[in-house]
Structure 1
Amino acid sequence: MKRTIRTSALTVGALIASLVLPATVAHADTVTPRVDLRVLVVSDGGPSTDAIAAELDTAGTPYTEVDLQDAARPEIDADFLADTVDGAPRARFQAVVLPNDNPFPTGSAEMAALAAYEQTYAIPQVDAYTYARPEAGLDHPANGGYSGSVDGVTAQVTAAGAAGPFAYLDGTVPFEDNSPDVGESYAYLSTPAAGADFTPYVDAAIPGQTARGSLVGEYRHDGRRELVVTFVYNQYQQQFRLLARGIVEWMTGGVHLGASRNYFAVHVDDVFAADDRWDTELNCTPGDIDCQPGQGVSNPIRMTPADVDHAIEWQGRQGVTFDMVYNGAGSVNQREENDGEDELGDQLIADRDSFRWVNHTYSHPFLGCVQDVGVVPWKCATNSDGSTQWVSQNEISDEIATNRVWGQTNGLPLDTEELVTGEHSGLRILPQQPVDNPNLAPALTGNGVEWLASDHSRDPVQRQVGPATTVSRYPMNIFYNAGRAAEQVDEYNWIYTSRAQGGSGICEDNPATSTCLTAPLDTATGYADHIVPLETRTALGHVLSNDPKPHFIHQSNLTEDRIAYPVLDGVLTTYDTLFADNTPVVNLRMKDLGVEMQRRAAWDAALDAGQVTAYRVGSAVTVEAPDGVAVTATLPTGTTQGGAAFGDAYAGAVSGWTASAGQPLTLTLPASAAAQSATAGTTDTTTSTTPPTKVPAGVTEQVPYVPEN
């Protein structure tokens, strides 16, 4: 059981029995039922139900999972699905997700119980992946339809989809085709069956036909509503990521706990400073620790005033603000070496209000253990007794404070609670330094640091370091020591090719985390043809996954060939073609992203502990959470809390966080949502001598399983 909401419930057997059995006693009262804001996910271990569960997890939407492969699972019967609370009927689940339209054995009473429950309480059902057939409202593919690969196909949101649950999309839903050698997507394309009340929401052209076949559509029958999905997917594929929000909005009627947004923030490290350059002959970086001491000649990379102008122009065009993560010593040293002149520093300071600024320490030293760089890779220096030598608290504090004062003196609009240490140093780094520098936390306390950047690749989980909470950042695979595309490709080949092909063999030595190229990339074309598409897809995947973690690059990537921009443009331009104007990229500074992560962690912990209660009765939504835990929800536009508007507009709904102070919160849905509830969610407790409609014959036919790729 996952994300189970605690409720105090009394079971009334007579009401439950009426869901599946004819009754003889009649009651005249009509009661608006309580519907708990929780989803039932019935899983068969396949990727599609797992993907929907992952979407609910990420958003913070509570659900209960029943694994059909678990011999000890509960039986899905009337008692499992509904009961009464305070004398009123309660539906335990606001929606049902099944692996297909009927995953139970022939003759099973469980599907009948679910069908009766859905009819009684107007509960929608998602068929996570089923094949086209009349029992699902679609004609057989053999009758002018199609079954097979849809790799590379561009599907379309229909007019009904755009007016309904997929209004946040701009119209197209491209299916991935990342490898010509691997089948990535399999689908059934078919038109509605004769006489079926079926509305396609997303469709695609049927090969060789003029008709279009449904991929996602709504089937209404027997007093029930099903969302029929006829393509297989996993949680990481772009087509699912695009449609996931709409699937959840459809099944919950736009009323659910949790929220989802598309975040993208870009940190530019080492601003004002210079970055050492990769040497394509030595296959290391002179001036840095991957070269032996004295090996090669340093040839640093540093932005120019023209690069600042370009960055400002780019921000205006793309609607995203860079976070400039700066080292003041870079400008001071430049002035000392050039008779007080630093054109780059002057330009950045003059344009300081065009960017957000983050303290990156004054001179970018390593703030963990004292490094012994006489060996490659480096190791921590030790004292005579074998204990680790640590950079002192005073040194750490001086680096933080000096850079802060330099920035304030030059008018940089800082938030002094934020800090990015050089190389995320001071924090643990394996294998050399398995623990944080013990002097880091007190230095952070003395400087009022509350948000500390960490590297997602080695420290992904938010945690406390003294007074500071970490904000993990995604390193984009655009190297700090490359200002030109050819340098990037050369180093990329060194890392990602085998020794037999002239590479370092790093990829061979780390097969769990790295994949070797089949052949070295062409230094003239490899960046645009291979690296840019790959890095674009990776970063866009984070954006589409409701993931607030920022990405980071370096100032070296914004100069010379400006190699960061093709990737950044790839992410944002692609995003713009996929989403409607009501669903913009959310671009926040590090502190605000950290607060979002912190709230999510507290919310998830409360859900997992069963400390959240939430339900809907007509137009009223009631939520109770522990004191100190902010409540998150997504609701229809026009929802109010205490007479004031709730949440912020996003993707055609309103969502946000609100404090509960441990007391029940009441949210009032707008009249349109209340009217829908009045017709769709009212239970007539007058019993009937007519049994509920049974599941149509043949519905137990099983869906063929397509393995996850």
Structure 2
Amino acid sequence: MRTALCTVGAMISTLGLSVGAAQADDTTPRIDLRVLVVSDGGPATDAIAAELRTAGTPYTEIDLGQSGRPVIDEDFLADTVDGRPRAKFQAVVLPDDNPFPTGSAEMAALVEYERTYAIPQVDAYTYARPEVGLGYAVQAGYAGSLDGAEAEVTAAGRSGPFGYLDGAVPFEDNSPTVGESYAYLSTPAAGADFTPYVEARIPGRTTRGSLVGEYRHDGRRELVVTFVYNQYQQQFRLLARGIVEWMTEGVHLGASRNYFAVHVDDVLAADDRWNSEHNCTPGDVDCTDPTIEADPIRMTAADVDHATAWQDEHGFTLDLAYNAAGSVDHREENGGTDALADRFLAARDEFRWINHTYSHPFLGCKQDTSVVPWRCATTADGAVDWVSRTEISDEIALNRVWGETNGLPLENEELVTGEHSGLKVTPQQPEDNPHLGPALADNGITWLASDNSRDPGQRQVGPALTVSRYPMNVFYNAGRAAEQVDEYNWIYTSRAQGGSGICEDNPATSTCLTEPLDTATGYADHIVPLETRIAFGHVLANDPKPHFIHQSNLAEDRIAYPVLDGVLEGYAALFADDTPVVNLRQKDIGAELERRAAWRAAVDAGEVTAYRIGTAVTVEAPDGLAVPATMPTGTTAGGAAYGDAYAGLVSAWTPADTEPLALTLSSAPAAQPTADPDSGDVSEPSASAPDTEVPAGVTEQVPYAPQS
């Protein structure tokens, strides 16, 4: 097992108890599976709290700036339950090594608590100095920006909590004008028991300095982090799993994976092409000149071959959202032939397939396109004129029948409507089509795709739950890189530069351009890196939501592949083989989102209790609630192996019943504090930590709030 863990024996020795009686003695301490996060409102503690919340790991947050907050003292940290000593928190996260005034009783209480129960402490971002086991950065190290630098996991880090990484930890440099990192690099202080886990080269020197390392002293263990970050930055996202693994000793509630799924919409149909001369797309309501000729984009049989070869090369499966009318109409217009559909059907089992409705109509209100933007048509009495239940149901059923007749491996409970229509779309249609839910029920639909940019939360629509999808900024109406760039320039440049002016009207738009991109190079040089970075951020954030593109992006110049390659190849270069990308289909993503929401609600309501006593882990939760837990390899439940392996640990969702969930660790944790607090070989808490630098690019995300 890679993780360095504290032994139960160490806890008992600390309490002056007999190690041999570890499992039977009522004085063996109970350690609750909850993390204490003490926050100063800074980005580093916020990032760790966000990581815990996303994974479903219970934590209690104390805001040091809030008046009337709880006082951190002995009673707050520990008590006795049924005669057994209880540590209420399995780990402590502080903004730095000591955020309290010098001589603080609260820091003294934390120090004594950590010594007594062998509780690890994370210093979320602190200054390199002897008090944390490092030499002063200003003397033998470095203090400053690491924008664009590449850190590296050490051998100790790879054999310990960061073993899911191959080694490299690149720091972002998204803007040449905004500082995005700050770090204190230094080597261990003379005589300090300090193990670097992540290092970077000290500028101007041949030596490397620690960015993340473990400091053992005075019967305590601290994870010392000497660079600042926010929850979105790649360097934190890469290391977040290891920080949690270290602090919880590999035993915690919640689970985390790195997910990536890509839906390809409009398969078998054709997508209208952007017209660079008129800056609009024929077929759209705002492209009204009847003389503009349509030039649709449709995949070919060769594009299918390329897609299957690409999947085989990357070990990845695309989800194809198909419109059968695209093939039926093509055959009618081409003497009964459709080479594209024939090739897809020959390779049907190479892909996952999703019903995208038969002919891709708009299924919300009936659209009045006599005005731009369109508005909902109304009946004679002024009510909204909705697409009917029968029309919606027929679109779903006809497409399903075609798919089943042609042997597509469908999951009939999944649906993606054209343009996510039927669901609310502001400002024109601020509510769902009331006929949508009944039509979904008519067809057994339980998982309905929605657009994350306008409908991000999972919600109920009739019998279905929504599955929000991230739109990639690879446009549906572009099959060639040059036309993608031309449209991108139109949307994101100023009116003076010939653009739409959207950025002038909405300065918060993240993808605004200071000048138009070169149509020959702008796609590869600007759009691909930006879209790759945004999608890769979702992959690293334990976010299972799928991304979506269109069949046009797999045709002609096949412009989607450079982005997909960037995500998957970039991932493979950073992660170990035991931490693969998890590629789920729509219904499984929906189920993951559903059980996460139920779990979070139960944790927030205080309905979950979990603790460890020796090698025994107990979880009490409401009957029927699926419980996520992450444990060391070798953990058992009822005598059987527990969980699925991922990133060096095992995890699973287990439905609770009337009896608590009981897990057994394969062995007691192995590492122990380095000093006996009763020996006198301890020191008082250090003085409060010095102020640290936090650049603008950490307090505000770069790019600022990307449209994703």
Instruction: Return the TM-score normalized by structure 2.
Output: 0.93
User: Is 1:195 aligned to 2:191, yes or no?
Assistant: yes
State whether residues 111 and 695 of structure 1, in contact with CA within 8 Å, keep that contact through their aligned partners in structure 2.
Answer: no
User: Is 1:446 aligned to 2:434, yes or no?
Assistant: no
User: Is 1:100 aligned to 2:92, yes or no?
Assistant: no
Amino acid paired to 2:414 = E
CA displacement at 1:692 relative to structure 2:
9.1
CA displacement at 1:567 relative to structure 2:
0.3
User: Is 1:619 aligned to 2:589, yes or no?
Assistant: no
Superposed CA offset, 1:654-685 (max 9, x none): 011011124311001112xx1528x569x99x
User: Is 1:503 aligned to 2:488, yes or no?
Assistant: no
Matches within 5 A, 1:370-381: 370-381=366-377
Matches within 5 A, 1:189-338: 189-292=185-288, 294=290, 296-338=292-334
In the aligned structure 1, how far is the partner of 2:232 from the partner of 2:437?
37
- Residue 112 of structure 2 is matched in structure 1 by 116
Counterpart of 1:143 in 2: which secondary structure? helix
- Residue 23 of structure 1 is matched in structure 2 by none
- Residue 363 of structure 1 is matched in structure 2 by 359
Superposed CA offset, 1:97-126 (max 9, x none): 000000001121111110000000000000
In the aligned structure 1, how far is the partner of 2:32 from the partner of 2:491?
52
- Residue 654 of structure 2 is matched in structure 1 by 658
- Residue 432 of structure 2 is matched in structure 1 by 436
Matches within 5 A, 1:175-190: 175-190=171-186
In the aligned structure 1, how far is the partner of 2:687 from the partner of 2:154?
27
User: Is 1:695 aligned to 2:691, yes or no?
Assistant: no
State whether residues 116 and 692 of structure 1, in contact with CA within 8 Å, keep that contact through their aligned partners in structure 2.
Answer: no
In the aligned structure 1, how far is the partner of 2:149 from the partner of 2:298?
43
State whether residues 292 and 374 of structure 1, in contact with CA within 8 Å, keep that contact through their aligned partners in structure 2.
Answer: no
Stretches of structure 2 that go unaligned for 5 or more consecutive residues are 1-13, 16-24, 701-708
Counterpart of 2:593 in 1: which secondary structure? helix
- Residue 610 of structure 1 is matched in structure 2 by 606
- Residue 706 of structure 1 is matched in structure 2 by 694
CA displacement at 1:579 relative to structure 2:
0.3
Amino acid paired to 1:269 = D
- Residue 593 of structure 2 is matched in structure 1 by 597
Superposed CA offset, 1:60-90 (max 9, x none): 0000000010121111110000000000000
Amino acid paired to 1:342 = D
In the aligned structure 2, how far is the partner of 1:257 from the partner of 1:275?
46
Superposed CA offset, 1:509-553 (max 9, x none): 222344521001111110000000000000000000000000000
CA displacement at 1:650 relative to structure 2:
0.3
Residues 1:51 and 1:295: Cα distance change in structure 2 (over 3 Å):
farther
In the aligned structure 2, how far is the partner of 1:156 from the partner of 1:58?
26
CA displacement at 1:507 relative to structure 2:
2.0
Instruction: Return the TM-score normalized by structure 1.
Output: 0.93
Which stretches of structure 1, 4 residues or more, deviate above 6 A after TM superposition? Answer: none
Superposed CA offset, 1:401-428 (max 9, x none): 0000000000000000000000000000
- Residue 670 of structure 2 is matched in structure 1 by 676
CA displacement at 1:227 relative to structure 2:
0.2
In the aligned structure 2, how far is the partner of 1:236 from the partner of 1:514?
15
Counterpart of 1:415 in 2: which secondary structure? coil
CA displacement at 1:142 relative to structure 2:
2.6
Match of 2:413 among 405, 413, 417: 417
In the aligned structure 2, how far is the partner of 1:267 from the partner of 1:147?
44
Match of 2:630 among 614, 626, 634: 634
In the aligned structure 2, how far is the partner of 1:39 from the partner of 1:295?
65
In the aligned structure 1, how far is the partner of 2:562 from the partner of 2:440?
36
CA displacement at 1:30 relative to structure 2:
8.2
How many residues align? The count is 675
In the aligned structure 2, how far is the partner of 1:140 from the partner of 1:50?
26
In the aligned structure 1, how far is the partner of 2:121 from the partner of 2:373?
56
Matches within 5 A, 1:453-602: 453-602=449-598
In the aligned structure 1, how far is the partner of 2:436 from the partner of 2:242?
45
In the aligned structure 2, how far is the partner of 1:362 from the partner of 1:67?
54
Counterpart of 1:216 in 2: which secondary structure? strand
CA displacement at 1:691 relative to structure 2:
7.7
State whether residues 489 and 499 of structure 2, in contact with CA within 8 Å, keep that contact through their aligned partners in structure 1.
Answer: yes
Amino acid paired to 1:97 = V
Identical aligned pairs, as a percentage? 75
Provide the alpha-carbon RMSD of the alignment: 1.7
Counterpart of 1:339 in 2: which secondary structure? coil
Superposed CA offset, 1:179-207 (max 9, x none): 11111100000000000000000001111
State whether residues 325 and 420 of structure 1, in contact with CA within 8 Å, keep that contact through their aligned partners in structure 2.
Answer: yes
Residues 1:52 and 1:82: Cα distance change in structure 2 (over 3 Å):
same
Superposed CA offset, 1:266-313 (max 9, x none): 000000000000000010001222311635111100000000000000
In the aligned structure 1, how far is the partner of 2:212 from the partner of 2:269?
52
CA displacement at 1:429 relative to structure 2:
0.3
CA displacement at 1:37 relative to structure 2:
0.2
- Residue 4 of structure 2 is matched in structure 1 by none
State whether residues 361 and 399 of structure 1, in contact with CA within 8 Å, keep that contact through their aligned partners in structure 2.
Answer: yes
In the aligned structure 2, how far is the partner of 1:276 from the partner of 1:700?
63
CA displacement at 1:652 relative to structure 2:
0.5
Residues 1:44 and 1:579: Cα distance change in structure 2 (over 3 Å):
same
CA displacement at 1:581 relative to structure 2:
0.3
- Residue 130 of structure 1 is matched in structure 2 by 126
User: Is 1:41 aligned to 2:37, yes or no?
Assistant: yes
State whether residues 77 and 110 of structure 1, in contact with CA within 8 Å, keep that contact through their aligned partners in structure 2.
Answer: yes
